[in-house]
Amino acid sequence: MSEQNIFLLDGEEIAFAPGQTIMQAAQSAHKYIPHLCWHPEFKPHGSCKLCTVKINGRFGSSCTVEAAAGQNVENRTAELDDKRRTLLQLLFVEGNHFCPSCEKSGDCLLQATAYEMGMMTPHFDHFYPDRPVDASHPDVMLDFNRCILCSLCVQASELADKKNVFVMGGRGMRGRKIILNSESGKLGDTDFSVDDRAASICPVGVILKKRVGFVVPYGERTYDKAPVSAVEAAK
């Protein structure tokens, strides 16, 4: 690696390999940039905007912007975390995120990121949308009340599992949704398997393996033990 391949992240020098995004370089250096729709195994699409940073004073999604020598990147500033908190609040009111009854609580990236940003209230008026629960599959259930449309299941099913079980469909704030690739529209009628990559990719509590929901009790889960910033930086 040449000496020039360095940028500043919150004032700290970060080395990068040519072609790496700011997010990838930060992760390699064990630095946490908040994110929801980004996953190291898949191509970034910059849609959740949680990973927005300021690059030489201009906003950019750190998961899609390539690292370049001499960039001055602001990440965990009060200004950016305020904006991230607002994005999270919008996500919370758009779906039905009722944490007390959710099997994913404590392991949920949305919840953990909201804790990290100190979100005390969803602030906006709730939509309380009417979204379906699909328990048709013998080993996996889907609760779309919690979907944040990160599309990681779509990517995992298409690219890792070669199955295309999930597709993004519909339009608009209330119409956009994940559609199941079967005539009935039910997961049970697809070739989805509990061993698929897509079965364990969901960052929130939509795709849930049956019969294991409370094997690990509340209070002893990933983000109960350490905040998401520490968990991510340790990766």
Partner 1 sequence: MSKLRVATTSLAGCFGCHMSLLDIDERLLDLLELVEFDRSPITDIKHCGPCDLGIIEGGVCNAENVHVLREFRKNCKILVATGACAVNGGLPAQRNHLELHDILTAVYQTEGGLAHGAQIPNDPELPLPLNQVHPIHEVVKVDYFLPGCPPSGDAIWKFLTDLIAGRTPSLGHGLLHYD
Residues of this chain that interact with partner 1 (CB under 8 A) are 92, 96-102, 105-106, 111, 114-115, 118, 120-123, 125-126, 128-131, 218, 224, 226-227
Shortest spacing between CB 96 and partner 1, in angstroms: 8
Shortest spacing between CB 166 and partner 1, in angstroms: 23
Cβ-based neighbour number of residue 194 at 10 Å: 14
Q: Which two tokens stand for residue 87?
A: 């994005």
Shortest spacing between CB 230 and partner 1, in angstroms: 9
d(CA 200, CA 3): 39
Shortest spacing between CB 59 and partner 1, in angstroms: 27
CB closer to partner 1 out of 9 and 110: 110
Shortest spacing between CB 102 and partner 1, in angstroms: 7
Maximum pairwise Cα distance, the chain: 57
d(CA 59, CA 189): 43
Q: Which two tokens stand for residue 58?
A: 């201009």
Phi-psi region of 194 (alpha: psi -120 to 50; beta: other; left: phi over 0): alpha
Shortest spacing between CB 83 and partner 1, in angstroms: 19
d(CA 186, CA 168): 15
Q: Which two tokens stand for residue 141?
A: 């259930």
Buried b / exposed e across 70-86, counting CB within 10 Å, b at 16+?
A: ebebbbbeeebeebbbe
